[in-house]
A = this chain, B = another copy of it.
Amino acid sequence: MRREALLELLRKLEAGKIAPEEAADRLASLPFEDLGFAKVDHHRSLRSGMPEVILASGKTPSQVAIIFAELAASGVNVLATRASQEHYNAVRETVPAAEFHNLARCITLLQSKPEDVTGHIAVVCAGTSDLPVAEEAAITAELFGAHVTRITDVGVAGMHRLLSYLDALRAADVIVVCAGMEGALPSVVGGLVAVPVIAVPTSVGYGAAFEGVTALLSMLNACSPNITVVNIDNGFGAGYVATLIARGPQH
């Protein structure tokens, strides 16, 4: 039953064919979607111009290509994360306008300019090995309409380098910090600014780095109170939430 079915029920009531009590009973047993619930999501996506997102890893190139093409056909912007060159090769056959961001392992398709985001995002990373995760965050944020400043290679073992970017850090409305190994950078950055910091542990490191677990735990215990954390290597999630924050209250 779709909206037509709902309308048909209501029209029967309007026409006096059923009583309000009976209508109420039947409404109680309807699938929720038919009551227009799902439209909310749709309205939201229309309002925000946010792209649809595909997690490419774990899907075959042809599966990604099919989903990508369907979304492209609907006119929205599209982002595929954790994509390989093979994924991209399959996608561009049907969607030639799609672009591949090699470092960030992302495929993007920009069909309409996203709604401009007020606030500014800084994406910071500790070392060059953290760059893929940082780039995933940056490209996500940009595709969702945000302005992004990239600050790279500012690990805590060389404080003077980080401090030389102090102005850039303080100019941001929200900061994404990617770090592996001991994951100490978010604590330090968080102490230098007064805005929300989203910490992204990366799987960079060896031995007791435990594929990012140490960085994750470290960030969850950050002594700066303005820090929240996402999953290991989840650059997309960090970029997405940063955009929501940079957009500011909508009510």
Contact = CB atoms under 8 A, between A and B. Distances in A.
A234 to B, nearest CB: 7
- A16, A30, A118: most-surrounded residue (chain B CB, <10 A): A30
B58 A204 contact: yes
A120 B251 contact: yes
The size class of the interface chain A forms with chain B is 35 or more
A59 B204 CA distance: 12
Copies in the complex: 8
A223 B182 contact: yes
B160 A41 contact: yes
A86 interface: no
A2 to B, nearest CB: 11
Classify the interface of chain A: helix, strand, loop or mixed.
Answer: helix
A173 interface: yes
A80 B152 CA distance: 21
Interface in A78-136: 118-120, 126-129
A124 to B, nearest CB: 15
Interface string A215-251: 1111111111111111111101110110011101111
Nearest to A55: B129
Interface of A: 3, 6-7, 10-11, 13-14, 16, 19-21, 23-25, 27-41, 44, 48, 53, 57-59, 118-120, 126-129, 155-161, 163-167, 170-174, 181-184, 187-188, 190-192, 194-196, 198, 201, 203-234, 236-238, 240-241, 244-246, 248-251
